[in-house]
Amino acid sequence: MTHPYSLAHLTCLSLSPPEVVSLAARTGYDFAGLRLLPASPGGEAYRLMDEPELLRETLARIRDTGIRIFDLEIIRVGEAFNTDDYKDFFEAGQKFGARAILVAGDDPDEGRLTASFARLCETARPYGLTCDLEFMPWTKVPDAKCALRIVHAADQPNGGVLVDAIHFGRSTTTLADIASIPRHMLHYAQICDAPGPTPTTVEGLIHTARIERLLPGEGVVDIAGLFGQLPADLPISVEIPTESRAHLGPDEWARRCLAAAKAVLG
């Protein structure tokens, strides 16, 4: 059994969605991911919902290359979350044939966050989309135990837990926590590596996660142990943003990322 691989938009965020699709095709990926909404206020994203020409170009590139879209980013569930605000996002995902939505949890009230996540899943399901809650140590879903608790309590067939190697390595999550996630709640995972030691500030954690990750096998994350607990056929999003190696260019970097991921995962 082998993993299908998707090129995460964060790995090449300076490229537009059509360019990401073409890059994935040139460098050997099966899928690509697209960032339609920013990870933080003012962050870089490509709102294809509001740009019909770019949307058409992206769809044409998908058709011409055969590259499929796997995940869409990013919906952040905060205190004032309202699923009605994302109808155009879901519709764009359906046009792409996307499979998953990356979800972050920002609401400090876990009960309300769980209810909002359940509503999100219910709303996204008719569009053929799963909702995958990513734990990140600086958010209100800081580890795998918390993510699993919320997804389990939401009790939605398209709800999932998203495991990102960097957040596994830099949270309190253990291999036993990963092993306890039911198979039906795992729709894909993200691979990368990170240097040690783990930063002690939120700013430090975010800096590495967003612009200075390492290739799998270069850092201190137990990649082999982590993916040994995950299904052997789980789709893998290769998410390795780096500013220090930008001189390599997007094609060379995308190839190196995929080669390193395959080497580590066998």
Percent of the chain with pLDDT over 70: 100
Residues 38, 184, 260, 191, Cα dihedral to 10°: 30
pLDDT, the chain, mean: 97
Judged against a pLDDT cut of 80, whether residue 1 lies above it is answered with no
User: By C-alpha distance, which of 26, 75, 30 is closest to 49?
Assistant: 75
pLDDT digits (tens, 9 = 90+) for 112-142: 999 999 999 999 999 999 999 999 999 999 9
pLDDT digits (tens, 9 = 90+) for 24-61: 999 999 999 999 999 998 999 999 999 999 999 999 99
How many CB atoms are located within 10 Å of the residue 212 CB? 15
Average pLDDT over residues 180-189: 98
Sequence-distant (≥ 6) Cβ neighbours of residue 6 within 8 angstroms? 24, 29, 30, 31, 32, 33, 70, 71, 188, 235, 236, 237, 238
- Burial label for 2, CB within 10 Å (0-12, 13-18, 19+), is exposed
The pLDDT value recorded for residue 2 is 86
Among the ranges given (28-37, 38-47, 159-168, 250-259), the one the predictor scored with the smallest mean pLDDT:
38-47
Provide the whole-model pTM.
0.96
Check if the beta carbon of residue 36 is closer than 8 Å to that of residue 77: no
DSSP code string of 160-205: EEEEEHHHHHHSS--HHHHHTS-GGG-S-EEE-B--SSPPSSHHHH
d(CA 104, CA 125): 18
The pLDDT value recorded for residue 266 is 82
- Burial label for 203, CB within 10 Å (0-12, 13-18, 19+), is exposed
Average pLDDT over residues 158-176: 98
Check if the beta carbon of residue 40 is closer than 8 Å to that of residue 2: no
Average pLDDT over residues 230-236: 97
Both tokens assigned to 240: 């390795």
pLDDT digits (tens, 9 = 90+) for 56-88: 999 999 999 999 999 999 999 999 999 999 999
Judged against a pLDDT cut of 70, whether residue 252 lies above it is answered with yes
